[in-house]
Structure 1
Amino acid sequence: MMPTPGFPSSTLDSGGAPIWITDLAAGDPNHILHVVRGIEPAEALEELGAKPGLIQSRELPDSKPDEWTSLPCAALGTEPGSCAVLLAGRVGEWTFVYDDSGFTFDDALTEALSVDGRTAAKSVLTINGDASLTYAVDGEQVQWVNVDDLVLEEDLPGMPAELRAAFEAAGTVEMEGFEPGEADVLIAMRAACALANLTLTLSDIRRLPLLILPLG
């Protein structure tokens, strides 16, 4: 597979997903990636509903016990499906929160992450293949992108410059059933990673101080 413009080939899986997310996720994932500039991981988790006393510092295990258990879920030792597990870390100015079960879906949470002049984005990919990205600045939603309706040539020029650059870096991946240059189902996840400079591998994630939280 040819790398997309902003991603070294080692940072994408064979289907075009950011490989660190693939390595964290359970099979057939229903998951969310939040990114926010300018706050610490613990603060981001609290904005997403965490009680401070439940936030834990953890290292990720070497592997998943089975295909239905996410790596964050394995780190906590919880039963898959019993709760969502959120994993948070920081790379440069950006904090990420990976939600292994899609529990933190509400767009109001993205707006809350972006208050006080911050920028935040949320990429959603459901088990049914629904994909979207929400982009918020200073407490207000600025853009919502439904990947099913995304026409890159028409829609990119109207996006805020920072978001447009992220989608340009995300590029497109050839997939069965998609025309060349058509937005594939994983473009929003790549765009969120490009926005927050998360062109990483799981080994890179393991080197970060990580916080983990059971939620729901």
Structure 2
Amino acid sequence: MMPTPGFPPSTLDSQGTPIWISDLAAGDPNHILHVVRGIEPAEALEALGAKPGLIQPCELPDGKPDEWTSLPCAALGIEPGTSAALVSGRIGEWTFVYEDSGFTYDDAATKALSAGGRTAATSVYTINGDAGLTYAIDGEQVEWLNVDDLLLEEDLLGMPAELRAAFEAAGTVEMEDFEPGEADGLIAMRAICALAGLTCP
């Protein structure tokens, strides 16, 4: 695989995370990105369990007050560690939900987002470096992968075409202790961004 062919220059940080995600995240993040095609941001938040009365528009601040506070946490006035902060938006036909604490990662979340004939995916990256991706269509899980077990040359062949193209666009980042072309820990975050067209600066 070629290094990150789907990401223009200056869109990834030194670890291979899309910069727009690392700009949202706290230090040593334990976070999730959900994407779903065909619904509005508020609907996506509700599908993930957010109470309608708590959903509010917000403007992200210019910066984080400290390394432990995510930008969504700062925007919503949430004390780090007390509750998850979710921020949602839409680019084209895809809606994304960034969640800063890892609370919304389970199979049911992706299935709920994909209900009604939609396509959805969820990527997680934990403070311990665990990483995975779930892909669902019409309420049914189609693909689940653990990045630690991902063998690109073999596993890409069995993926749905849309997801395979996203991983090809995500490419690989050279990291210490990784062989050239081996899946790095942030490949799932890049792949989900490539899937939903979130390869922006």
Q: TM-score range by the shorter chain?
A: over 0.9
What residue number does 2:195 align with? Answer: 195
Deviates more, 1:185-194 or 1:10-19: 10-19
CA distance in 2: counterparts of 1:36 and 1:101, whole angstroms? 19
| Aligned AA (2:130) | D
Say if 1:166 and 1:195, in contact at 8 Å, map to a contact too: yes
RMSD over aligned CA atoms reads: 0.9
1:40·1:95 contact (CA, 8 Å) conserved in 2? yes
Structure 2 regions of 5+ residues with no counterpart? Answer: none
Specify the code of the residue in structure 2 equivalent to 1:139.
G
Q: Gapped runs of 5+ residues in structure 1?
A: 202-216
Tell me the amino acid that sits aligned with residue 36 of structure 1: V
| Equivalent position SS for 2:85 | strand
Distance 1:128 1:18 in 2: 19
Counterpart-to-counterpart distance in 2, 1:178 and 1:77: 39
Secondary structure, counterpart of 1:75 in structure 2: helix
Alignment of 1:2-41 (within 5 A): 4-41=4-41
Residue matched to 1:166? 166
Please state how far the C-alpha of 1:163 moved relative to its aligned partner: 0.3
Within 1, Cα distance between the matches of 2:94 and 2:3?
A: 23
Aligned residues: 200
Query: Structure 2: how far apart are the matches of 1:63 and 1:45?
Result: 24
1:206 corresponds to which residue? Answer: none
Deviation at 1:145, TM superposition (A): 1.0
Name the structure 2 match of 1:97: 97
2:3 and 2:172 in contact (8 A); partners too: no
State the Cα distance separating 1:9 from its structure 2 match. 1.7
Pairing of 1:139-154 with structure 2 (within 5 A):
139-154=139-154
Q: How many angstroms apart in 2 are the aligned matches of 1:132 and 1:148?
A: 8
